[in-house]
């Protein structure tokens, strides 16, 4: 599993960020809170990540702090709460 990524923000729009890590661009889904904080950060950031693997997709979610990541993890264990709902 990918626990964190350190790199430069290449693009940031509508709940998604592309982070360049050593020449590889990682697409991360982020919350509105994280995206707003990233707008205030330097282009080089460290994002904690959570990977959700489904039959039809693998999605990386990015967080600036452990509190938000841990809340996301907890919410996704609740039956009926998916990753998108947990992120919002």
Question: Model confidence over 55-76: pLDDT tens digits?
Answer: 999 999 999 999 999 999 999 9
Whether residue 1 is predicted with pLDDT greater than 90 in this model: the reply is: no
Instruction: Yes or no: say if 50 and 72 are a contact pair by the CB < 8 Å rule.
Output: yes
So what's the pLDDT on residue 88?
85
pLDDT at 42: 83
> Averaged over 5-22, what is the pLDDT?
94
Tell me how far apart the alpha carbons of residues 19 and 25 are, in angstroms, rounded to a whole number.
5
- Average pLDDT of 44-55? 93
**Distance in angstroms (rounded) separating the CA atoms of residues 22 and 14:** 24
* Pairing between β-strand 24-30 and β-strand 16-21 as defined by DSSP bridges: antiparallel
Report the DSSP pairing between strands 58-63 and 24-30. Answer: parallel
> What is the length of the chain?
88
In this structure, are residues 30 and 15 in contact, taking their beta carbons and an 8 Å threshold? yes
């Amino acid at each position: 599993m990918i626990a964190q990524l350190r790199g430069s923000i290449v693009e940031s729009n509508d709940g998604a960020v592309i982070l360049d890590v050593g020449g590889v661009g990682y697409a991360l889904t982020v919350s509105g809170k994280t995206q707003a904080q990233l707008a205030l950060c330097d282009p080089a950031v460290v994002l904690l990540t959570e990977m959700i693997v489904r039959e039809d997709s693998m999605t990386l979610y990015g967080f600036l702090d452990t509190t938000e990541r841990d809340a996301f993890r907890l919410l996704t264990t609740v039956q009926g709460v998916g990753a998108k709902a947990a992120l919002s």
